[in-house]
Chain A
C-alpha cells in the first residue's frame, strides 16, 4: 500500500499550494457564477407558445393584443403547446380553440414550478383575455402542468467541470512530477524499496481524488446555488466524471515526460485542453458551430464527455444511451494512459 503513502504526500503538497487551490476551486465558481448570472437567471420574459386553431378576424385581433405584451412563438397544435411546457421549452402554452370567435374558452398550460414568471404570465394572460371579452365569465381555462426544467447551468456546470478537471489533473500531475525531477526527490523515491507502479499509482490516485472533489464541488455549487436540476442518475454523472479525470491524468503523465519546467508543463496542457474545450462544445452548445467544425468536434473526447453529461443531466438518459460516447471517452483515456506509461522517463 505504498502508493497511498505517495498519494497522501501529493495531496498534502496540493493543499499547500494556494494559487493551485484558487484555480482548482474558486476560479471555476467565478466563471460558472458569471455565466450563470448572464444566462441562467431567466429574468427575460420567456416566449409565449401559442397554438392558433381559429384563424378568424377576432382570433387574429386577440393574438395581436397578446403580442403587445409577449413575444409569441407559434406552434403546430394544442398538443405541441402542452408538450413544450412539459419538456421545459416553454413556461406557458396557450391554445386558441377553433370555436374561439363563438366564445370558446382559451386553454392555458403553465408550469408553476417555474415560479413567479409562470404565475405572472398566467395572470397577465387572464386579465388581457378578460378585457378582450369585456368582462363576462372567466374565458380562460388554466391547467397546471409539471414541466421539465431546462436550466442554463445544465450546460455550464458540466462544461466548465470537464475543462477545469482536465486542466487540474493534467497540469497538477505534470508539474508535480517536473518539480520532483528537478528537486531530486524523484530519484529519492526510486531509491526507496517501492515498486515503480506504487510511485505512479500514488500520483494517479491523488489526482483522481482531487478530480472527484472538483466534480462534487462544482455540481454542488450548480445545484445548491443555482438550483440546477439533474434528471438522470448521479452514479452516471460520477462515472463520466471519473473517465474525464483519468483522461486528464493520462495527459498530465504524458506531458511530464517531455516538459522540463512547470511552465512548459502547464502551457502544453493548456494548448491541448483549450481547443478541445472550444471545439468540444464546453463553452457553448456545439449545435451553434458550423457543420465542418461539428465534424471535428465529433471525434474529440471532450465532446463525448459533454454529450454524455447533457444526456444524463438534461434528459435523464440511462447507461445504454450514453454507452457509445463513454466507449469513445474510455478509448481515448486508455490510449493516452498507455502512451504515457510507455514514454515515461525513469532515468535521466
Chain B
C-alpha cells in the first residue's frame, strides 16, 4: 500500500523549474532513495513534501493527507532531517530532544523514555547533559538525526543524511538508518552518493534537473544499462582527455567524476590499452585503475551523459 503518492508535483523558482511534474509512490515500510546531483531538486521535493514549501503545481498525499490541504496533519506524522543541522547550541542533547518532542505533542514520562531510548540508539547516552556546542560534527549529526525521530514518525524524510561525513561516520549513520527502517518507519532518503543509495535503498529514483530519469531497485537499474563494464581510474584528469577517450571505438561514455575518470564500454579488455595510452599521452599520473561492474553512478552517466558530482 502506498504511503506517499506524489502527483505532478512541481516547483518553479523565478521561472526555473526546480521540480518538474514529479510522479512517484512510496510503499509503506520502504526505504526509498532519491539519487541526483547538486541542484537536481531533491531538497526542494523534500521541502514540499514536508509542507514548508508551497508547490507551484501538483500535490502529494502523505498517509492519506493532502500536503496542500492538511499541512498540520502531515507534519504530525512525518519526521524531517534537513540538510543542515537544526539544533540549539546552548541546550543540552536531552533538552533539544525534549523541546522538539514537546512541539510534536510528546509529553511527560513518555517523552523522558523516548529521549533516553533515542540517545541510546544514536550512541550519545554519555553526553545527555552536555551542551550541543561542545559536540563534534559527527555527534551533532547523530543528534540531528535523533531529533527527526523523537516522536516516532510514520515517515521519515532524510535529506542528505551523510553529506560531509567521513567514511567511518557515514557507516555508522547507515547502520542507524537501517535500524530506523527495522523499527517499521518508512524512509525517503535523498543523496548524491551512489554507494549510499545502492547499499541502503530498496528502490531508487534517479533525479536530474527536476525530473526522474530512472526508477527501480538498485539491481534493476544497474541491469538496465545493458552489458557494460567500467574502467575506473583514480587520477586528476584534465577535461580535454574526455573528448579524446570518447573517440576511441567501443567507448560508450567517458566522464570525469569527483575521484577521477570512468569509462563505460561493452568490452573493457579491447579498449584498455588505448585508454592507458591516452592517459600517458596527456601525462596523467594514475593512482589506480580497475575494471569493475557498473554502479548507479554509471547508470546516471549513461542516462544523462554527466557525472553525479562535478
Binding site for B on A (CB under 8 A): 2, 5-6, 9, 12-13, 16-17, 183-195, 347
CB contacts (< 8 Å) of A192 on chain B: these are 75, 100, 103-104
Task: Return the CB mask of B66-91 against A: 1 if under 8 Å, else 0.
Answer: 00000011011000101011111111
CB contacts (< 8 Å) of A189 on chain B: these are 103
CB contacts (< 8 Å) of B82 on chain A: these are 184, 187-188, 191
Known A184-B85, A188-B82; contact A194-B103, beta-carbon cutoff 8 A: yes
Known A187-B52, A193-B76, A193-B105; contact A9-B86, beta-carbon cutoff 8 A: no
CB contacts (< 8 Å) of A190 on chain B: these are 52
The range of chain B's interface size is 20 to 34
Task: Return the CB mask of B233-269 against A: 1 if under 8 Å, else 0.
Answer: 0000000000000000000000000000000000000
Q: Which of B87-111 contact A (CB under 8 A)?
A: 87-91, 95, 99-100, 102-105
Known: A12-B95, A186-B86; 19 extra A-B contacts, CB below 8 A, are A5-B99, A16-B91, A17-B90, A183-B86, A183-B87, A184-B85, A184-B87, A185-B86, A187-B52, A187-B82, A187-B86, A188-B82, A188-B86, A188-B147, A191-B80, A193-B72, A193-B73, A193-B76, A347-B52
* A89, B72: Cα distance in complex, Å: 64
Known A9-B91, A190-B52, A347-B53; contact A184-B86, beta-carbon cutoff 8 A: yes
Known A188-B147, A194-B103; contact A9-B84, beta-carbon cutoff 8 A: no
CB contacts (< 8 Å) of A186 on chain B: these are 86
Closest Cβ of chain A: how far from B96's Cβ, in Å?
A: 9
Q: Counting CB contacts under 8 A, is B191 at the interface?
A: no
How many A-B pairs with Cβ below 8 Å? 64
Q: Counting CB contacts under 8 A, is B162 at the interface?
A: no
Please tell me if the beta carbons of B99 and A16 are within 8 angstroms of each other in the complex: no
Selected contact of A191 from candidates B50, B87, B90, CB within 8 Å: B50
Selected contact of B102 from candidates A5, A13, A183, A185, CB within 8 Å: A5
| 30 A-B contacts (beta carbon < 8 Å) | A2-B102, A2-B103, A5-B103, A9-B91, A12-B91, A13-B91, A16-B90, A16-B91, A183-B85, A184-B86, A184-B87, A185-B86, A185-B87, A187-B52, A188-B87, A188-B100, A191-B50, A191-B75, A191-B80, A191-B82, A192-B75, A192-B104, A193-B73, A193-B75, A193-B76, A193-B104, A193-B105, A195-B72, A347-B52, A347-B53
CB contacts (< 8 Å) of B103 on chain A: these are 2, 5-6, 189, 192-194
Binding site for A on B (CB under 8 A): 50, 52-53, 72-73, 75-76, 80, 82, 84-91, 95, 99-100, 102-105, 131, 147
Please tell me if the beta carbons of B84 and A184 are within 8 angstroms of each other in the complex: yes
* A188, B89: Cα distance in complex, Å: 14
The residue on B at minimum CB distance from A14 is B90
Closest Cβ of chain A: how far from B129's Cβ, in Å?
A: 13
The residue on A at minimum CB distance from B131 is A16
* A195, B89: Cα distance in complex, Å: 24
CB contacts (< 8 Å) of A193 on chain B: these are 72-73, 75-76, 103-105
CB contacts (< 8 Å) of A195 on chain B: these are 72
Closest Cβ of chain B: how far from A144's Cβ, in Å?
A: 58
The residue on B at minimum CB distance from A10 is B88
CB contacts (< 8 Å) of B99 on chain A: these are 5, 9
* A183, B143: Cα distance in complex, Å: 14
Known A5-B103, A192-B75, A192-B104; contact A185-B88, beta-carbon cutoff 8 A: yes
CB contacts (< 8 Å) of B75 on chain A: these are 191-193
* A195, B75: Cα distance in complex, Å: 11
* A185, B72: Cα distance in complex, Å: 18
Selected contact of B52 from candidates A2, A5, A16, A191, CB within 8 Å: A191
CB contacts (< 8 Å) of A187 on chain B: these are 52, 82, 84, 86
CB contacts (< 8 Å) of B80 on chain A: these are 188, 191
Closest Cβ of chain B: how far from A4's Cβ, in Å?
A: 9
Closest Cβ of chain B: how far from A293's Cβ, in Å?
A: 42
CB contacts (< 8 Å) of B100 on chain A: these are 188, 192
* A186, B84: Cα distance in complex, Å: 11
Closest Cβ of chain A: how far from B53's Cβ, in Å?
A: 7
CB contacts (< 8 Å) of A13 on chain B: these are 88, 90-91
* A13, B95: Cα distance in complex, Å: 11
CB contacts (< 8 Å) of A185 on chain B: these are 86-88
* A12, B104: Cα distance in complex, Å: 19
